[in-house]
Structure 1
């Protein structure tokens, strides 16, 4: 392969890199694994005869999808041995992502957790069709199914996700207000203020991966959650600060203990109250909390 051919392939790959990363991340829920997939995609891409490729963007998405499916199957074994609850790896995102409703919802912790309940092929079909608006024929080529089978899979996956996704996408300002109440409670101990913003059926999911102390199972109910916080805050001697940021397309908090990053906290808000709290403190999943990750649907 000539240097000119490699240079042309590189330019095309770089032009679509953010899209390919977004596809891989939404399929895997792991930025580290998405980066590995992009490396594998690149190695296969430079070996392709470019003269035989009619749509380079579609071809790259196809390679990325296939590599992501392979990675999903190996990740399943890792998750089965995972200590405690597993949450997607959080990504700091640009504030304007929150204004892009479709993109913000697609990378939200709430929806990413719903995608975790799909089988690998269902997840690939749903992501490509519902998020990236890829045609059925192209999806069929990517997942190795017939277009008719892909339509059935897409219908089944859509019905599954719709039954479990948030009922509505709340305005970013409403989510920020709810998160601010949570921030004040963490920093000042205003537990009544916290109770006021929590939905009675709120669920906390914490991911320490066995490396940090975290609830091993989801904690359900506002009263139970507040009791747990009272116990935890009472035992902690560290100074707790929570700095507002944007992660996974919505408002988030970077929680620090004595100035050191402990984790990223995001929330699910419905009817102006917090129904889900997601706290990732596994150090292996905090490599992207210092800089924004560019994401795109196009």
Structure 2
């Protein structure tokens, strides 16, 4: 009688199947949630982007009609692109500059550093929230805090949120005011720069400005790149401040008509969900293109110390 024993390869194969089975079992809740609430809706929105859909009747196939409408027959789409571009190009650099400046100051070993860091970071905890947008509206209203301060020096300030020339500026100011998150990341990066580099530069007679541009910025460039990427994506998605301050209209004179706000109007006010889906995918492409350009040029100014 011949007795056969399982080979080592067969044992390993069964062990691998057993381990894979348990891995899939633990991953199943996440996979189900991802397919049901992320991948599924994304694929559905991609289909709807090529249809006319009003939420009440069945989608009607339009092909590229929604995309032709964006760039040919919809001036508000171009206006929303313009407003968002100004917000991104102006607000993102200003926010990062303030964050870096404050991080450099805090990195000098101030007393009560934990308190200052928490106080400065606090506005970022409510970033994009309705409460902060309502507060900002009160501050920049005709009889708000800003105009009350200007009245002390004899200046009659305008209603900042009601003037097309200044309304977008108030939203940019709100973006800059919430610089706490990148500031904390900058501060962590500054703490990782060896002090010996600055001591050697001082021995060579380098000024503080020279040290900043020759030591701090090159060594901090990966952190700056990381913050820049996050801030760009965040700025493209800005919605709540413009919605609250303009009462959802994007006014005055469409000066605060952010891309995401116009997308909301088309989808949930005008019930043109097909066009809104097309706008959503166009936003993904635009933001992705900007981030890709950022990654491309990063090789010219980001230094990883290798």
Greater share of residues in helix: 2
TM over 0.5: no
Greater share of residues in strand: 1
TM-score normalised by length of structure 2? 0.23
Structure with higher Rg: it is: 2
TM-score normalised by length of structure 1? 0.23
* Larger RCO (CA under 8 A, 6+ residues apart): 2
